[in-house]
């Protein structure tokens, strides 16, 4: 969807992010697979177990067209 112009925000786990970043370190310390599959996306880490980050996520969803 990002390649077609949609703004895509990927929510990642706090502390570790997407585990695919570590497959290899070919592109500026990130895995080539990770960079390829996440191109044009923005990423954000949120600890959903806390109240205030959950409010931030709800705020994002209020203006979202799609949640996957």
| Helices (H), ranges, 6-50 | 32-37
pLDDT of residue 15: 78
Q: Residue 4 above 80 pLDDT?
A: yes
User: Which sign does the torsion angle of CA 51, 52, 56, 59 carry?
Assistant: positive
Which among 28, 32, 34, 26 has a CA at the least distance from the CA of 10? Answer: 34
- Note the pLDDT tens digit of each residue in 16-60: 777 777 777 877 777 888 888 888 888 888 777 777 777 777 887
Where is 44: in which H helix or E strand? strand 41-45
51-57: list long-range contacts, CB under 8 Å, 24+ apart: 57/11
Q: What global pTM score does this model have? A: 0.65
Q: Residue 62 above 80 pLDDT?
A: yes
């Amino acid at each position: 969807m990002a390649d077609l112009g949609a703004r895509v925000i990927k929510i990642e786990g706090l502390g570790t992010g997407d585990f695919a970043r570590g497959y290899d370190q070919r592109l500026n310390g990130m895995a080539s697979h990770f960079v390829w599959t996440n191109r044009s996306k923005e990423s954000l880490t949120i600890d959903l177990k806390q109240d205030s980050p959950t409010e931030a996520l709800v705020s994002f969803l209020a203006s979202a067209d799609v949640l996957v």
